[in-house]
Structures are given as structure tokens and as C-alpha cells.
Structure 1
Amino acid sequence: MNSGGAASQHRRQSRRPCFPYLSLILSFAVLVATVNGGEFTDSSSIISRFQQYLKINTAHPEPNYHKAADFIVSAANSLSLESQILEFAKGKPLVLLKWAGSDPTLPSVLLNSHTDVVPAEQEKWAHAPFDAHLDPSSGHIYARGSQDMKCVGLQYLEAIGKLQISGYRPIRTVYLSFVPDEEIGGHDGAEKFADSEVFKKMNVGIVLDEGLPSPTDNYRLFYAEKCPWWLVIKATGAPGHGAKLYDNTAMENLLKSIESVRRFRAAQFDLVKSGLKAEGEVISVNMVFLKAGTPSPTGFVMNLQPSEALAGFDIRVPPTADSASLERRIAEEWAPASRNMTFELGQFKQKVSVFDEFGKPILTSSDSSNPWWKLLEKAIRDANGKPGKPEIFPASTDARYFRERGLPAIGFSPMSNTPILLHDHNEFLNKDEYLKGIDIYESVIKAYASYADHQKDEASRDEL
């Protein structure tokens, strides 16, 4: 699918009015911080900008994408970055920024982040999820998106601001993409972007995308991720009196399937609990909804067995798994036709392949064949950080759309000594950890944008 034509209909140079944010970011390069002996001292301005970004409610189902886009473009203009807004789907702006390198023949670096966040149950938060409350005693900033992943998007910009003030100029061109809809699959965001003519002309050589916080002092690095298979199983049977016992009722057959799924899930989870495999290396299965029963004005009819019942499962498959075997298990054990079981609509609601367009498992090399991995590890160490061992991301991110096209993509969010609170109540990121992450990205962006070995660049693409 090529979305270049659709994008051109909505593409425009960003000149949206940004007056609410001009007072906040009159000059990003100046307000980022003042330089004193090569170190930044104005951390309060940096934290204030982070809070402003977090306060923009981009939660589904009605994310305020345009407000977020205005904020990002204001920052980009102050850094003299080229900016444009692409709309591959109406009302869903994708902000693309460019920091031009001195050698445009070299493949570029893409720093990707998403602007949308998941909904929050406000009554279950200690602080309102879009107030970006800074606790003065702990230094924690409580907000939806503080970990997932508004921190990363703004850290990119802050790091570039620091590099510019230091006088650094990139050799490779650096792009920053702020995409919509990642939390609902990325189909109108990163997927269409990766398929577009705009993306092809960018000549991307490496993509950085989101990772996960680390409860330890190691930073987590991800070379692959699980692919989502969203499955709905439907059981049918004759309706009957609630007191009657007979075989092959819809509910009985669905319960057998649920029990079969539960046993498989327990066996996979046991591998994680025993330490034999990491969470990203097993197939995860979680039941996410159960729909059955005959509604009544007071609830459900109690003396009537329903004629159909449905269950939904979120399955995540690592690229190292035997996907063909899993498909057979679903057809033969979890939803066999002999028990009046079917898949809803006869197929998976969503099934993402574990193979790229070249028939290879969707993963990025994490050994010496991939110079980008080694550059990242060294850059983290140079900034006094500790890189962890390569992992498979236990969920899904937009990075898969770039890996599907044969590009190396690494998941990385510089959050150490931080509990994993993505999609949880009271999501927070400590202000000191946020500031430290900017220093990490400054080192990483400089290492990537300075890498000038074209031969190794092309060789790593062939390997990947």
C-alpha cells in the first residue's frame, strides 16, 4: 500500500497559529537552559516544558492532536528545524522535523515517538492525569504519557537544543517524527508514514523508537517485539432452559476453550517465572472480554441458556516463535469446529506477521554485525549510563512498521530505577530521571549523526 498520494493532499508546511505556546517557548534554544562550563543550569525551564506537553490531553478516543502538533512545531521553529505536518488521515496530524546534516548522501537517522496516550480513570489517580503534578518531596511528575511516551519525544528536542548550543552540527540528517494513533494500532500513523513516498525520500538508515522503564540502573534495549494477534472466538449452541443439562451448549464449549487457553498461558508464564525465558520470548495470551447471556431490564435472564457466547483474546507472538504451530493450536484446540466453535468473521481481528516483507523474522541484529547497536551501547556508557542486555519487547510498538520494511529499529526509553507504569494508574517519571535521559539522548544523537562509515551502513542493512 502506498500512501504518498493521500499524504500530499493533506501535507502542508506548518504555519498554524501557536500563540498559547509562544510565551512558553519564545526561543527553545535559549530557554532550554543556560550554559555554564558546558553544563545546563536552567532545569526548571526544561521541566516546565515537559509539564506543558503532558497537560495536552491526547488520550483516546478524542486526542487533541492539533494542540500537541502546535506545541511541537513551536519548539522546532525555535530550534530552526525544518517542520511539516502530514495528514495521512484527516484530523490526525503527523509532525515531521528535520535537522539537516552536512552529508545528505548518508542514510538518515529517524527518532520516532507518538503523541497519543491511553485513557485514564481520573478517580483512581492520586493527582489528575493531565495536571502534570510535580511532587516536591519525591520529584515525581504524575501524568498520563509521562512514561509512554511524551518524555521521549521532548527529550529528543531538548537533546538537540543542547547539541546546538554546544556548537555541534550533524553529519547525517536527523529526522524526528511525532506520530498519531500508536495506542490503537498505528494504522493511520506510523504504518501509513512508513509506506509513504515522503518516507522513502528520507533514506532512513536507523530508527529509534520507544522502550520500557527499567526498575534497575540498567537501560533496557529492544531488538524486536511481539506481534499482536487479536482473536475473537465464538461458540454456538441451541438455547435451552436454565435448569436443563445437555451437551454442546455455547457456554460449556466456550468454557472448555477458555480452560485450554488458560493452561497454555500458565505453561508460558511458568517459563518466565522460572527464569528460563524473558517475558518478551514467550507467547502471551490474555482474555480481554467475555460476551454472553440474554439481557433483561434487571440484568440477565437467569433461566435461559444463551445460544452463543464470545471471548476475546490479546495474543502477542515473538518473532522467534513457531507461528504456524500456534495457528494449528487455535484451530484444533481452542476453537475446534467439532465443538461448534468458530473465529469471529472466520479470521483474526488483527494478525500481524512475524516476518518482514522479505520473509525474514522481524528483528534487528544486536551483535557486532550491527554498528548501530554498538554505537548506542557506547553512547549510553559515555553518558554514564549502563546498557542492559538485548531484549524482545513484550508488547507492540510502531517500530514494527519500520522493521517490516527491512530497516534496523531499536526500542529505547532512557528511564532507569523507574517502576513500569505504562497504562497504569498514577503513571509518573521522576524529574531527575527525565533530565538524565536528555543527557543520554544528547550522547546517542551525536554518536548516530556523526557516524560516517557508508560501507558498514549498507552492509548492516543487508544483514538486517
Structure 2
Amino acid sequence: MCTKWDNDEVLQRFREYLRIPSVHPNVDYNDCVKFLKKQADLLKLTFAVYELVEKKPVVVITWEGTQPEMPSILLNSHMDVVPVYEDHWKYPPFDAHITEDGWIYARGSQDMKSVGMIHLEAVRRLKQAGIKLKRTVHISFVPDEEIGGVEGMRKFSESEEFRKLNIGFEFDESVPSESPKTFVSFNGERTARQLKITCKGEPGHAAFISNDTAGEKLSYIINKFMEFRKEERKKLDNGAQLGAVTTINLTKVEGGIQVNVLPEQLSASFDIRISPDEDHEAFETMIQGWCKDAGDKVTMEYYERNPEEKTTKIDGSEPFWNVLYKTILDMGLDINCFICPGTTDARYIRRQGIPAIGFTPILNTPLLLHAHNERLHIDEFKKGIDVMEKVLQAIADA
């Protein structure tokens, strides 16, 4: 059946990308790579695929600048999307159905195939207008962001292939904004650490009140974590952004054999996201102190101990941020920048000492990342291209 959208080439390219089911688990990225190769060929741009991990391709499309010796700009997005529960969707999640009033229903319409296509369409417009940019622009499409990016952007950002791109600034994802005038952007992330504390004690019969039990020690540890959590919760209640708060959550308790037997050991596992405002070394020392105070034979081990995440300055000292901010204001719009409450691939770029800003140029949109019936309105998608076209030209000529 023909629709009024069928002759809109911009929308048809977007829908073609959305219809590729690059969904976890066990993603097959081949169709994404083929689609992106076709786009690069149409734009007459250099196309490269780096497969540093088998079946985990990183695609880079390059538009060389007039001064290629200058540090380049990286526009990054990820190809993968999270799983779907089709029974909860109004339309099939990989049909890219457009309603009569202009909503595109599809997994990835917000997170984040829309942003990847906005990057490509902005470049397409600039090239078609005959504009040449000073800085080289690389448009990257990476795998596995939705499962941590370890074999995607992390591996790539640490490679010699990445170093040769000479990146000076990176754009990554934020989230669509529900505001009609103010974008959401991210300049950093909290540091994710997951740890397990094990408390050993004297086993025995549960009918007695014994000394030096694992339960007493574990109770002390859990109470300390929960007291700290309560204080951080107050910050949220007083209006702090989630990204500015250190979150602690007890996620797993293990131990014991039988209800009437005192266990030889008990353990508790915690998921922790440390705010950039926190002194990370002092925070770890505090936890070690709790373990010591709980008694003998209390130990701490990490499941994951990420390095302290870097942030990109937004205090006027970072030139690329200044250009982005001014460009947005000059359009009569605004931008609200804060610490990302979750994680994105931008953290791996910042670890290389490269400034990065998460920026999804989409306004007036309900936040439906990972949700049922993820959707994006055609008008907001096209306005996002308008914005990215102006931003990219300003940044690449900075």
C-alpha cells in the first residue's frame, strides 16, 4: 500500500536502517554494514570496517576536510538495539511503521539509529550544498554499546586504528528532550564499580547467641552502605540530578547451608555508581574502613573496578563545547548539560583524553529508550537534521 511518505528519500533511508533487526542477543551486524556501505558510496565518502573482534565490526565513514592535519570530529552512534517484547507493541518493532499523524514506531527510533542517520543526513546536506569543512569528519557506527561496549568502542578506542583518526572532539548520544526548546546533553558519567564483601565467622548451632558470627559482621556492613545511601537519597530529594549522586544498591546476598546452622560465611554484593564530585580514593578507603571495623575475616573483592571516569569541561575552558553552546543559543534554543545517569560509549573516548559530549538533537519527544512502542515523530527527526547541520558546520570549522 502506498503512503504519503513513500517518496521521502530521507525517511525511506531512516526506515531501511530501522528495519534491520540488529537486536540482542547474538546480533548479526552484516546487514547494517551493507546498508552503511551503500550510504557511503552514495555520498562518495571513504568507507572502512575495523573488525578488531570477530563479528563485531566498527564502521567508519570519512569526509576529509580542507585542513586534514587539524584534529578531526567524530560523530558516533551504535548499531545495536535492545530486545523487544512484541506482544506489547502497537506495531511490529522492526517494520518502521509510520502512523497517519507522523510517528515512526521502531526499536532504535530513539536509541540510537535516529542519531546515526541524523549524522549522515547532516553530512549529506552540507555536501550537496557544496560546503567544504576545515576539519575531517568521521562518522562511526559501533557494535555492542547496549551490552557495555567492551568489544565495540572500548576495543576500538584503544587501538592504533583509532589513534590514526586524530580525533579532537567526539559527539555521542544523550537522550531526546521532552522540552520543545531545550536539548539534553551529557559531559560525563559516574564511575561504575561492583563489589562483593565476604564476612567469615564461627559456625555453630543457631540455638545459641555466639560471638564473632558472619551475620553480625554482614549486618554491620549492610547498615553502613544503607546509611550512606540514605544520605545520597537526600540529595535527590533536594533536587540534585541523578548523575550528581553516588548510588549504592544491595543486589545479592549469599551464604548459609541450613536455617538452624550458623554459617561459616555470608557475603553481600553491591552495585555502585560514583559521582564525579566524589573523591574516589577516599570513597574506597571509607569502604575498606567499614570492612576493618566490622571485625576479623571481612574481605572486599571487585567484580568490576572501572577507572575514575573523566568529564568534559563546560565551564568555558573547552572550545568545542563553547562552539556547540553558542550555535544552539544562536538558533533560539537552549541546552541543559549534566552528568549522564547511565553509561554511554563516550566514556571510552574521554579515557583517551579526548573531549566528548553526548548530544541527541531531538526535542519535544517522550522518553522511550528501551521501552515498548519506542517511537519518534517525523517532524522532530527532520528538525534534528537541521540542528546537526548547523552544529557540525560550526564545530568542524572551529
Could you say which TM-score interval applies, normalised by the shorter chain?
A: 0.7 to 0.9
Could you list the runs of 5+ residues in structure 1 that have no partner in the other structure?
Answer: 1-40, 295-300, 356-361, 452-464
Contact 1:383 1:443 in 2 (8 A): no
- Within a 5 Å distance, the mapping from 1:16-35 to structure 2 comes to none
Residue 248 (structure 2) aligns with = 285
Contact 1:43 1:435 in 2 (8 A): no
CA distance in 2, matches of 1:200, 1:147: 30
Cα offset, 1:321, TM superposition? 1.4
Match of 2:286 among 303, 320, 329: 329
Residue 114 (structure 2) aligns with = 151
Match of 2:233 among 269, 273, 288: 269
- Within a 5 Å distance, the mapping from 1:3-402 to structure 2 comes to 44-137=8-101, 139-217=102-180, 218-236=182-200, 253-254=217-218, 256-275=220-239, 277-291=240-254, 308-333=265-290, 338=295, 340-343=297-300, 346=301, 348-354=302-308, 362-388=310-336, 390-402=337-349
CA distance in 1, matches of 2:23, 2:212: 43
Cα offset, 1:412, TM superposition? 0.8
My pick for the range that moved more, 246-255 or 281-290, is: 246-255
CA distance in 1, matches of 2:327, 2:152: 29
Residue 410 (structure 1) aligns with = 357
Alignment size in residue pairs: 393
Cα offset, 1:219, TM superposition? 0.5
1:155-189 per-position Cα deviation (integer Å, ceiling 9, x unaligned): 10111112122222222110011112222322222
What SS does the aligned partner of 2:11 have? helix
Structure 1 residues 129, 230: CA separation in 2 closer, same or farther (over 3 Å shift)?
Answer: farther
The answer to whether the aligner puts 1:429 opposite 2:376 as a matched pair is: yes
1:325-359 per-position Cα deviation (integer Å, ceiling 9, x unaligned): 2112322337866275433xx3x22222226xxxx
CA distance in 2, matches of 1:412, 1:310: 40
Structure 1 residues 204, 242: CA separation in 2 closer, same or farther (over 3 Å shift)?
Answer: same
1:243-299 per-position Cα deviation (integer Å, ceiling 9, x unaligned): 776566656654553443233223212212212x322212122344455576xxxxx
TM-score normalised by length of structure 1: 0.76
1:58-93 per-position Cα deviation (integer Å, ceiling 9, x unaligned): 333311222222222221211111011001111100
1:408-429 per-position Cα deviation (integer Å, ceiling 9, x unaligned): 1111111223333333344333
CA distance in 2, matches of 1:150, 1:239: 55
CA distance in 1, matches of 2:293, 2:99: 54
What SS does the aligned partner of 1:229 have? strand
Structure 1 residues 246, 44: CA separation in 2 closer, same or farther (over 3 Å shift)?
Answer: farther
Residue 449 (structure 1) aligns with = 396
- Counterpart residue type for residue 79 of structure 2: T
What SS does the aligned partner of 2:188 have? strand
Cα offset, 1:442, TM superposition? 0.8
My pick for the range that moved more, 368-377 or 281-290, is: 281-290
CA distance in 1, matches of 2:366, 2:264: 45
Structure 1 residues 334, 450: CA separation in 2 closer, same or farther (over 3 Å shift)?
Answer: same
Cα offset, 1:108, TM superposition? 0.8
Cα offset, 1:124, TM superposition? 4.4
CA distance in 1, matches of 2:284, 2:163: 34
- Counterpart residue type for residue 284 of structure 1: T
- Counterpart residue type for residue 276 of structure 2: P
How many percent identity over aligned positions? 40
- Counterpart residue type for residue 141 of structure 1: I
Residue 15 (structure 1) aligns with = none
What SS does the aligned partner of 1:60 have? coil
CA distance in 1, matches of 2:160, 2:215: 50
CA distance in 2, matches of 1:435, 1:446: 17
My pick for the range that moved more, 88-97 or 442-451, is: 442-451
CA distance in 2, matches of 1:125, 1:312: 35
CA distance in 2, matches of 1:446, 1:208: 13
Contact 1:134 1:141 in 2 (8 A): yes
- Counterpart residue type for residue 109 of structure 2: S
When the two chains are superposed, the root-mean-square deviation of aligned CA atoms in Å is 2.9
Contact 1:260 1:334 in 2 (8 A): no
CA distance in 2, matches of 1:121, 1:242: 46
CA distance in 1, matches of 2:91, 2:103: 11
- Counterpart residue type for residue 232 of structure 1: K
Structure 1 residues 431, 285: CA separation in 2 closer, same or farther (over 3 Å shift)?
Answer: farther
- Counterpart residue type for residue 438 of structure 1: I
TM-score normalised by length of structure 2: 0.87
